[in-house]
Amino acid sequence: MRIGFIGDIVGKPGRLMLKRHLKRLQQEHFIDFTIANYENASHGFGLTEKNCIELLGYGIDMMTGGNHSFDKKEILKLFDTYPLIRPVNYPEETEGEGLFKTTVLGNEIAIINLMGHYTMPMVDNPFTMIRKVVEELKQKGIKHIIIDMHAEATSEKQALLHMLKEDVSAIFGTHTHVATDDLQVIDGCCYVTDVGLTGCRDGVIGMKSDVPVKRFLSGIGGHFDIPDTCKAILQMVVFELDDEGQCIAAKKIKIYDNQPKIVTKAWME
């Protein structure tokens, strides 16, 4: 089966890029199931029901979150209605689930949303928790396990790879919005430290540059905002899994505005 993974969708520019390109990419690359990260989809902070329905209509099958999952309080009522999850290591009392299970082409797959520690909200230890979650899934016979590791620190993401590379199908880093050039398949596990944003590419992490620049110059912050007009990018990973849950091929797809797509194959270890 072939699965597409899209990192942080940032505001209207990101949503429009998916509207323009996603269904065509799904057809061209024979994608059977598409995952995306929603936490910045509604004007950069959280997700509204309107935008949730919009994104699912563009061809996304389910969505993961992160530290901005709860910025729009209406999401509390969306978890029971739409295929959305939030980081699994939030406290048990937190609304929503951190694990999504479904069947694709006869194979049961599990998608886990996990959040790192560095500069993130207070959550349970991601490393001890994910080990237990993965063990329980494998005991149930689930071989196709995909993790969205939403973290600031690259070291946390790389450590997770070496801890779980023999036990899971894929680990995708999200949160920084800045794509890394390390897409690889190692021991049957697809990995990239950060998929990168889908949204504005000519600002700072998908936002207008004025407030971040002022903050770095003066120490005075402000509200980050999405530009009304900008140059945009779509970034996604397409990877193929065999019946045993092993990744056998992967590639990164980038589209700048309406230019022809750029496809880069993963390094196979």
Q: What is the pLDDT of residues 44-57, one digit of tens each?
A: 999 999 999 999 99
Residue where the block lists tokens 């036990």: 167
Tell me the three state secondary structure of residue 72: coil
**What pLDDT, in 10s, does the model give residues 231-260?**
999 999 999 999 999 999 999 999 999 999
Which one, of 32, 51, 31, lies nearest residue 41 by Cα? 51
CA distances from 13 to 10, 198, 199, 233 (A): 7, 8, 5, 9
> CA–CA separation, 223 vs 130, rounded Å?
34
Helix (H, G, I), strand (E, B), or coil: what is residue 266?
Answer: coil
Mean pLDDT, the chain, as a whole number? 97
Cite the active site residues: 68
Q: What is the pLDDT of residues 1-47, one digit of tens each?
A: 999 999 999 999 999 999 999 999 999 999 999 999 999 999 999 99
What span, in angstroms and rounded, lies between the C-alpha atoms of 152 and 214?
22
End-to-end Cα spacing for the chain = 20
For 46, half-sphere exposure in the C-beta direction (CA atoms, 13 angstrom radius) is 11
Q: Summarize pLDDT for 100-135 with one digit per residue, the tens.
A: 999 999 999 999 999 999 999 989 999 999 999 999
Residue 180 token pair? 């890394």
Go through the chain and tell me how many residues it has: 269
Domains of the chain: residue spans and CATH: 2-268 (3.60.21.10)
